[in-house]
Amino acid sequence: MRIEVWLYGPVARYAGEASQGSYAQLHPELPDDITIGDLIARLGIPAEELGIIFVNGNLAALPGLETGQHTVLHDGDRVGISHRKSMWPFQYRFGAHLTEELEETFRQREDLGFHHSYTH
């Protein structure tokens, strides 16, 4: 399968020659049933550098909530991986949709997670 991977901030260096400094775009060919965790391991990104991770525009993982590591990727998916010190992407300033796995993680927490959007 083939996916599109975007690396933002200092993690862009893990793309090797594809790095543009502050970002990188990759189109790796991968085996079926690979998870986000498998992808991160293949890229060699240390856990302490991982920040926000999106899959197809949906929030999949945050620092301290690595639920997304087990999310299985599919052909054509787009994955965005930010460095821990990178800012929240501006296009999500009013909230982000969550992957089913992350939604379930929040439902199981005593505090139900956190509020990531504003209401009027």
| 24-76 residue pLDDT tens | 999 999 999 999 999 999 999 999 999 989 999 888 888 877 667 888 999 99
Among the listed residues 78, 73, 65, the one whose alpha carbon sits nearest the alpha carbon of residue 8 = 78
Residue with tokens 């300033």: 93
Distance of alpha carbon 102 from alpha carbon 107, whole angstroms: 9
> Does the structure show a pLDDT above 80 at 96?
no
Per residue in 4-27, pLDDT (tens digit) is 999 999 999 999 999 999 999 999
- CA of residue 16 relative to chain centroid, distance: 19
The sign of the dihedral angle between the CA atoms of 32, 77, 52, 102 is negative
Q: What percent of the chain has pLDDT over 90?
A: 55
Distance of alpha carbon 56 from alpha carbon 91, whole angstroms: 14
Distance of alpha carbon 7 from alpha carbon 94, whole angstroms: 22
95 φ, ψ to 5°?
120, 165
Check residues 112 and 99 and name the one with the higher pLDDT: 99
| Sequence spans of domains, the chain | 4-108
Domain with residues 4-108, CATH architecture = Roll (3.10)
- List of residues 6+ apart from 42 with CB closer than 8 A: 28, 30
Tally the C-alpha atoms within 13 A of residue 41's C-alpha that lie toward its C-beta: 8
